[in-house]
Structure 1
Amino acid sequence: MAEQTEDIVGLVESVVRPLIDFPDDLEISASDAEDGSILVEMRVNEEDAGKVIGRQGRVIKAIRTLARAAASRTGAHVEVELLD
């Protein structure tokens, strides 16, 4: 499960890093829950938060969709959250 978590974190990072102006401020952490789900939390510079969220939340929804699709091959559930 840890390898899959690293893959999901890498996917999220590879999608988010080109979108933001301050890539050095990007922090992504992941944790495995006992029920087999994966929680991915990311923190960006507050100036980049709007770029990651996108208009009407479209960008963050797309990131969540990609992460869930990548995890679905093993039946895991993924939640991606943007922290303040």
Structure 2
Amino acid sequence: MKELIKTIVEPLVDDANAVEVTVREEDHKIVYHLHVHEDDVGKVIGKNGRIAKSIRTVVYAAGMKTGKKVYLDIM
């Protein structure tokens, strides 16, 4: 899942080397934390949050196989 998130986000940002995904897994949920360079946050979120919503939709759909609720935080 981490590679999927990186594959989606890296073409959107200027500093692809700064893209980092960390995972925190709990009993009933998995939280992915996406860290990008501070200048690239707006590019990942997009106008009115449209790009972030699209990324989350793909991640949630891919996470359905786990049987746990999947969350994506963009930082």
Q: TM-score, normalised by structure 2?
A: 0.92
Which segments of 5 or more consecutive residues in structure 2 lack a partner in the other structure?
none
Choose the corresponding residue for 1:52, options 36, 44, 59: 44
In structure 2, give the amino acid aligned to 1:11.
L
Give the share of equivalent positions with the same residue, in percent.
35
The answer on 1:25 being equivalent to 2:10 is no
In structure 1, give the amino acid aligned to 2:33.
E
Runs of 4+ off more than 6 Å:
none
The answer on 1:13 being equivalent to 2:6 is yes
CA RMSD of aligned residues (A): 1.0
For these two proteins, the number of residue pairs brought into alignment is 75
Which segments of 5 or more consecutive residues in structure 1 lack a partner in the other structure?
1-7
Q: TM-score, normalised by structure 1?
A: 0.83
